[in-house]
Amino acid sequence: MAFDRGSVTAIYPGSFDPITNGHLDLIERGAKLFDRLVVAILGNDTKQPLFTVEERIEMAREAVRGLSNVGVDSFDGLLVDFAAARQASVILRGIRAISDYEYELQMALMNRRLAPDIETVFLMAGEAYSFLSSRLVKEVIALGGNIAGLVPPAVEARLRNRLLPRK
Ligand code: PNS
């Protein structure tokens, strides 16, 4: 008997301030698991992002250009409302270390309470990126450290422009 689960759209939400190679690893793996993957960038971020939402969208779009079933968009308000509007049945998140677990569990359970039909699916971060975060990348580059291989080259260039004083 043929089993047709229909087409599955997953949302990969986050601040993406900026997108890193760790995010991209997860996006590439997620794109193989789901029919369509929407990278959803939080617009009204209380964390005072370094880049505007338009800049973060631009960087993410450029980074995922080669992936035909991946789109990039921004959202405000509840994530589950955005997911429902996109007919997505999955929220995709990455887990790096045990320290991520508590925050992720809280969000997943709250989202399930708000929208029981939407499942959060976790992928373990690639081991090469398990230490990587947008926050650390910004800190290291601002202090003159080398971030080659941790973000796409175009993102590195934007970070340099924004954070390093011109000589
Ligand atoms: O990259 P981040 O900062 O860990 O992403 C956090 C994000 C954007 C996934 C989370 O803050 C979020 O979903 N915000 C939208 C508001 C919302 O739906 N809150 C209730 C769900 S717990």
Residue with the smallest CA separation from ligand 1 atom 10 is: 14
Distance separating alpha carbons of residues 39 and 93, to the nearest angstrom: 11
Residue with the smallest CA separation from ligand 1 atom 14 is: 79
CB 37, CB 7: distance < 8 Å: no
CB 156, CB 148: distance < 8 Å: yes
Give me Rg for the CA atoms of the chain: 16
Residues found in the chain: 167
Residue with the smallest CA separation from ligand 1 atom 13 is: 79
| Segment 73-96, tens digit of pLDDT | 999 999 999 999 999 999 999 999
| Segment 16-46, tens digit of pLDDT | 999 999 999 999 999 999 999 999 999 987 8
Round the average pLDDT of the chain to a whole number and report it.
Answer: 95
Tell me, what's the pLDDT at 165?
75
CB 100, CB 14: distance < 8 Å: no
pTM attached to this predicted model = 0.96
The residues assigned a catalytic role are: 23, 47, 96, 134
Pocket test for ligand 1, best of 42, 50, 91, 112 (most atoms within 8 A of CB): 42
* 90-95, strands of its sheet edge to edge: 70-75, 36-42, 9-14, 90-95, 119-124
